[in-house]
Amino acid sequence: MVEDSTEGPRPREITASAPAEFGLVQVWWGDGKGKTTAALGMGMRAAGHGYRVHMLQFMKGGTGTVDDVRGEYNAIAALPGFSYENAGHYGWHGFLDGSDDDEHAARAEGALARARELLDGAADADLTAPLALDGDPGNGVHMLVLDEIVYAANRDLLAPADVVGLIEDKPADLELVLTGGHDRPDYLDDHADLVTNVRKEVHPMDAGQGARQGTEF
């Protein structure tokens, strides 16, 4: 409980803890900005409570207009209990940017295999207990973010059935967060506890504004 203070809430030291009510499946999709941002925000919040969080990115492999080291990577590295890995291929699938679409598919399959390893590790761990904040994510996490996995399925780099399979294999106490995609993932309707459509109304990129450091990367 946060002490009442005229100076406002004060942060506490982050120590390893365990969530009491994790175990849902969240899906964030849509053509608007903010899907990964929302997942990162939840990851930060969970890590702030001392829960172990890991993000596996499926398609963010960098482009010529975006720094390879995104701001969130630096922030995650400074936050106890939060880790990430990037399995994406440089460029963006189908954008005719010179990247190899076969390599995009191979990287997506590799990320899928890694996601299965992470789920196996979570299944073997006691997720009702604290986990080492600097522990190997393969030994269990409380929250797993599979960033852009829905986009990978939208682009036929993964089969929807493979995404459903990950959900079906999820241990009961793992909070699983899936992001990405402009097309509604109807195949997840019977498998997700939360589905959010991040809808675009106005976007500066439509007027020619490029990705900006500190907001998009």
Q: What's the rounded Cα separation, in Å, for the pair 14 and 21?
A: 19
Q: What is the pLDDT of residue 209?
A: 82
By CB atoms closer than 10 A (0-12, 13-18, 19+), residue 141 is buried
Q: Return the pLDDT at 132.
A: 98
Q: How is domain 25-198 classified at the architecture level of CATH?
A: 3-Layer(aba) Sandwich (3.40)
Q: Where are the domains of the chain?
A: 25-198
Q: Give the containing element (helix H, strand E) for 113.
A: helix 101-124
Residue matched to tokens 């036929």 = 156
Q: What is the pLDDT of residue 210?
A: 79
Give the other-Cβ count within 10 Å of 112's Cβ.
23
**CA 135 – CA 143 distance, rounded (Å):** 14
pLDDT score of 62 = 53
Instruction: Please write the tens of the pLDDT for every residue from 151-171.
Output: 999 999 999 999 999 999 999
- pLDDT tens sequence across 14-34: 999 999 999 999 999 999 999
Q: Distance between alpha carbon 144 and the CA centroid of its chain, in Å?
A: 7
The answer on pLDDT for 184 being more than 60 is: yes
Q: Find tokens 């409980």 and name the residue.
A: 1
Q: What is the DSSP string of 35-52?
A: HHHHHHHHHHHHHHTT--
Residue 61 DSSP label: -
How much is the average pLDDT of 100-116?
Answer: 86
Looking at the chain, the whole-number percentage of residues with pLDDT higher than 90 is 68
For residue 48, pLDDT over 70 is answered with yes
pLDDT at 3 exceeding the cut of 70: no
Strand partners, 139: none
Selected residue with higher pLDDT from 209 and 54: 54
pLDDT digits (tens, 9 = 90+) for 65-96: 565 667 898 999 999 999 999 986 555 445 44
52 — pLDDT class (breaks 50, 70, 90): very high
Question: Which of 65, 79, 104, 58 is closest to 216 using CA atoms?
Answer: 65
- Of the candidate ranges 48-52, 93-97, 121-125, the one whose mean pLDDT is the lowest: 93-97
User: How confident is the prediction for the chain on average, in pLDDT?
Assistant: 88
**pTM across the whole model:** 0.87
CA distance 166 to 152: 14
